[in-house]
Amino acid sequence: MAKVKKVTLCGLLTALAVVLSLAERLFPLDAVVPVPGVKLGLANVVTLFALTRLSAREAGIVLLCRVTLSSLLMGSVTAFLFSLLGGLLALAVMWLLLRVEGRFCSLLGVSVAGAAAHNIGQVLAAAVWMQTGAVTAYLPFLLVMSVPLGLVTGLTAAVVLGHMKKIEFHV
């Protein structure tokens, strides 16, 4: 595997993830969950892709770059912490589930679990940061949301991966 190609792909994925992070601000989540910095986690699709086509290490690097960059762009320490813990937890869960993907579940299940883990992670971070357990009140809502969201991102990842197979794209 060419190192240059790998680095380039990581860069592309980071850029894509940052764009997705910015795009999800269009969704008025604040109205339902009034905790600044809590996000839907659209960018998880990139983590999922990176995990399947690259490795956990590269996925982690892309995650760290994405979280740092989007936090710099949106300028908030809380957003950085919430996204980082959410992203890392999602990465860990998806990495584990990908080992049984194809036998036990599909990419959709992996993605739903990843979305749920993302929300648990960011709410945990919020609880620690704001020193109150009260934010867990929003977790049921976020968990329910993670099902349709995870399905959409899982489907997106599956479609993209299918296309790559067709055009015989290999890293």
Partner 1 sequence: MRSKMKAGDLVIIAAVLLLAAVIAAVLAVPQRGGRLYAEVWQQETLVERVELTAGTDRVIDLEGHNVIVLEGRTARIARADCKDQVCVRTGTLTRAGQVAVCLPNRVVLKLVGDDSGIDAVAV
Partner 2 sequence: MKRLIAAVMLLLGLSGCASQPAAYTNDFFAMDTFMSVTLYGSTPDGRPADDGTLSDMAESISRTVNRLDAALSRTQTAGDLYRLNHADGAVTEVSAETYEAVRQAVAYAEQTGGAFDPTMAPVTDLWQIGTDQARVPAQAELDEALTHVGYQNVKLLGENRIQLLNGAQIDLGGIGKGFAGDAVCALLQGENGAASWQALAALGGNIVLYGGNPARKDGSWVIGVADPDQTADSLVTLARADGSVVTSGDYERFFEQDGKRYHHIFDPATGYPADTGLRSVTVIDESSTRADAMTTALFVMGLEKGMAFCREQGIAAVFITADKQVVCSPAVSDMAVFSFEGEDKGYTYAQ
Binding residues vs partner 1 (CB under 8 A) = 97, 100-102, 104-109, 112-113, 116, 131-134, 136-137, 139-141, 143-144, 146-147, 150, 154-155, 158-159, 161-162
Q: Closest approach of Cβ 11 to partner 2, in Å? A: 32
**Which of 12, 34, 141, 159 is in the footprint of partner 2 by CB under 8 A?**
141
- Residue 24: contacted member of partner 1, partner 2, none (CB under 5 to 8 Å, by partner type): none
Distances (CA, A) of 139 to 14, 84, 86, 131: 27, 17, 13, 16
For residue 146, give the nearest of 166, 168, 125, 116 by alpha carbon: 116
CB 82 within 8 A of CB 118: no
Which tokens go with 133?
């357990």
Would you give the binding string for partner 2 spanning residues 24-43, x where CB under 8 A is met? --------x-----------
HSE-CB for 86 with a 13 A CA cutoff: 30
Q: Closest approach of Cβ 152 to partner 1, in Å? A: 11
Q: Closest approach of Cβ 47 to partner 1, in Å? A: 16
CB atoms within 10 A of CB 131: 7
Q: Closest approach of Cβ 141 to partner 2, in Å? A: 5
Nearer to partner 2, 100 or 137 (CB): 137
Instruction: Determine the Cα–Cα distance for residues 115 and 142; give it in Å rounded to an integer.
Output: 9
Burial of residue 168, with CB atoms counted within 10 A of its CB: 0-12 exposed, 13-18 middle, 19 or more buried: exposed
Amino acid at 15: A
Nearer to partner 2, 32 or 77 (CB): 32
Q: Closest approach of Cβ 72 to partner 1, in Å? A: 29
Nearer to partner 2, 40 or 117 (CB): 40
